[in-house]
Amino acid sequence: MRHRLWAHWDRSGWIVMLLAVAAVYLLGLIGLTRYADLVGEDWSLGTRLYLALTLFFLENGDAEGAVPWALEVARWLAPLVLATAAVGTALTLARRRAGEWWSRWYRGHVVVVGLGERGWRVAHSARNRGRRVVVIDADAESPRLRDARRAGIPVVLGSGADPERLRAARVDRAERMIVLVGDAALGAAVADALAEVEASVGAMHDDFCCFVEVGDGRAVHDLNALLTATRRPGSREFFSLEGRAGPLVVDRWAGFMGATHADPVVVVGGTTAARSVTATAARQWRARVRDGSTASGMSILWIRPEGVPAGGVVSTAEAAVDSLEAPRGALRTRFADALDGLVRPPGLVVIAHDDDAEALELLLAADLRLRGGDTRVVAVTITRSLVSLVRDHPRIEVFDVLDELCSEEAIARGQLDEMARALHLGYLRQLDRTRTLDERRLKAAYRPWDRLSPEYRADNYAAARDAWVQLRLRGYDVVPLGAVAPVVESFPPDELEELAAAEHARWFAKEFPQAPPPEWADVTPENAAQSRDQIRRMPGVLAAADLQIARIS
């Protein structure tokens, strides 16, 4: 009830107060005019206007004799209306400043810059997980600010590009900061302001990381690569929600796990999500061929609108990517012709197009031509759109990027999520290579990432986090593939032993939490060899996720 009252006050309180002031003033003016007639005073219009104004300040309370009802009501209501307006204004200002006051006591919290649709989803998801959240937004009239206050989220009004607003949100004590401002230039300005705050405070939270959204997936890769040598490890990470769609779509619907051959994959659209799906499918199948999980190549067809560059997607003999450019207005025709020209039906068709009308045409064409087969048709949508309305279609799957990826937990995992997925995929490929189908089916972890139990996902996250820590202790880091840093394809023998010992200690502590860990020299030869093999395979495993190990120091 209290939140609803504040919502009404924020939305229309000032209008109600202005109308009340005007009504009381007019009532007082009418009452004074009648009172002057009763007592025989000849007040001018200016005098009556002035006397009506003084009613709000407890004047004219000494009128004698018969007082007209209009004046009687007005001289009681005027001070009350003025006091109500003053108290309401003061409380509104106090509530707006309260966010800054409360945030000054926070530690280990999440700072969200930008409260559009994405920012609100992230802030709300973090709050629902029990995290302390502070929001920074410049739009004082945004309806999302009222939603944030109702959810108990402190709000700091102002631009995230202002270092003082970042200090008010106590970003120096925050565990993470997520920037979702929807503009590359403003995002860069926020990052600059953060650098100024960091320089002034000296030391941030030990686990602090700033995640900045960049719409272009190619720019994300290049930014993260270029900043490898200039940032404190883990302190900055650029990301694209659409760019992270590829691994989820491929894991969920491509059906690569255990496959000895792959049907063609067709991707249509010029969005970052379309590029991500194409690149992910190519990387994952290439990794399967190169580590011996399969000997069969795969073809990927990417049909993109005219003017959309094809850079960033690598075509190889193991996973040949054929990129076709379709003139504007001819995307459906080119898509239909491509389907008719395939030797065998595709295993997966992904429509990731930013024009709703064309996307629906493409989905209709796919449904008509592929009906009755085993092809999986997936529509990728980034915002609430007409494509979302086909969610219940029996032959079309809808992947909503915001529903799947726009949460504080998903964004904050960032590169750690990519590492964990890569380790799990490496495990699946190893089983495909070394075990029979019946043996693989007995393994509880022999599942695609999307169907992996929370317990096994947590194991992969722990393994990825520990590997990252161990690598950094020895002067390495995990960075985007192609980063401007010396690439590591193998480790010196002494570091290989150290990393293998650390990996075995992690595994032993998980499997036998009550037992003291054995000395590395006492580990059985079989277990020691398995740990060494995991470390040797790590560079190749990470390459399948577009990552590499680099020597930083």
Q: What DSSP character marks residue 157?
A: E
Q: Which of 291-295, 482-486, 517-521 has the lowest mean pLDDT?
A: 482-486
CB atoms within 10 A of CB 460: 22
Centroid of chain to Cα 2: 31
For the chain, the average pLDDT equals 85
Q: Which of 193, 237, 125, 150 is nearest to 547 (CA)?
A: 237
Summarised one tens digit per residue, pLDDT across range 153-201 is: 888 889 999 999 999 898 988 999 999 988 888 888 998 999 899 888 8
pLDDT band of residue 228 (cuts 50, 70, 90) is low
Give the per-residue pLDDT at 379: 94
The alpha-carbon radius of gyration of the chain (Å, integer) is 32
Give the per-residue pLDDT at 55: 82
The residues near 463 (Cβ < 8 Å, ≥ 6 apart) are 420, 423, 503, 506
The yes-or-no verdict on residue 3 having pLDDT over 70 is no
pLDDT band of residue 305 (cuts 50, 70, 90) is very high
Give the per-residue pLDDT at 13: 67
Q: What DSSP character marks residue 67?
A: P
Cβ-contact 43, 22 below 8 angstroms: no
Question: In the chain, pLDDT over 90 holds for what percent of residues?
Answer: 33
The yes-or-no verdict on residue 62 having pLDDT over 70 is no
Strands in 362-432 per DSSP E: 376-381, 396-400
Summarised one tens digit per residue, pLDDT across range 98-156 is: 555 566 677 889 999 999 999 999 999 999 999 999 999 988 888 888 888 888 888 88
Give the per-residue pLDDT at 334: 92
Summarised one tens digit per residue, pLDDT across range 13-36 is: 667 778 888 888 888 888 888 888
Residue with tokens 């200690």: 505
pLDDT band of residue 63 (cuts 50, 70, 90) is low
State which amino acid sits at residue 312: G
Please report which residue ranges of 104-181 form alpha helices under DSSP H: 117-128, 143-150, 163-168
Cβ-contact 516, 451 below 8 angstroms: no
For 140-159, letters b (16+ CB in 10 Å) and e give: eebebbbbbbeeebbbbbbb
The yes-or-no verdict on residue 540 having pLDDT over 70 is yes
The yes-or-no verdict on residue 402 having pLDDT over 60 is yes
Give the per-residue pLDDT at 420: 92
Instruction: State the number of CA atoms in the 13 A half-sphere of 499 facing the CB.
Output: 26
Q: Are strands 265-268 and 236-239 parallel, antiparallel or unpaired?
A: unpaired
The yes-or-no verdict on residue 313 having pLDDT over 70 is yes
Give the N- to C-terminal CA distance of the chain in Å, as an integer: 58
Q: What is the mean pLDDT of residues 384-407?
A: 88
Give the per-residue pLDDT at 5: 57
Q: What DSSP character marks residue 487?
A: B
Give the per-residue pLDDT at 234: 54
Cβ-contact 223, 384 below 8 angstroms: no
Which is more confidently placed, 94 or 326? 326
Residue with tokens 């972890």: 445
Give the per-residue pLDDT at 269: 93
Distances (CA, A) of 98 to 21, 94, 105, 452: 28, 6, 12, 43
Q: Are strands 547-551 and 476-480 parallel, antiparallel or unpaired?
A: antiparallel
Give the per-residue pLDDT at 61: 53
CA distance 513 to 357: 56
Instruction: State the number of CA atoms in the 13 A half-sphere of 470 facing the CB.
Output: 21
Tokens of 420: 């964990």
Helix axes 272-290, 525-543, angle to 10 degrees: 140
Instruction: State the number of CA atoms in the 13 A half-sphere of 117 facing the CB.
Output: 7
pLDDT band of residue 76 (cuts 50, 70, 90) is confident
Residue 183 parent element (H or E)? none
The residues near 446 (Cβ < 8 Å, ≥ 6 apart) are 257, 428, 431, 440
Q: Which of 440, 426, 452, 444 is nearest to 533 (CA)?
A: 426
Give the per-residue pLDDT at 166: 92
Give the per-residue pLDDT at 273: 93
Give the per-residue pLDDT at 99: 55
CA distance 319 to 134: 45
319-326: strand order across its sheet: 319-326, 298-305, 265-268, 348-351, 376-381, 396-400
Summarised one tens digit per residue, pLDDT across range 412-429 is: 888 888 899 999 988 888
The yes-or-no verdict on residue 470 having pLDDT over 60 is yes
Look at residue 344 and give its three-state secondary structure.
Answer: coil
Give the per-residue pLDDT at 248: 92
Residue 301 parent element (H or E)? strand 298-305
Provide the whole-model pTM: 0.77
Q: Which of 79-93, 228-242, 421-435, 463-477 has the lowest mean pLDDT?
A: 228-242
Tokens of 19: 């109308």
Look at residue 528 and give its three-state secondary structure.
Answer: helix
pLDDT band of residue 529 (cuts 50, 70, 90) is very high
The residues near 94 (Cβ < 8 Å, ≥ 6 apart) are none
Cβ-contact 467, 535 below 8 angstroms: no
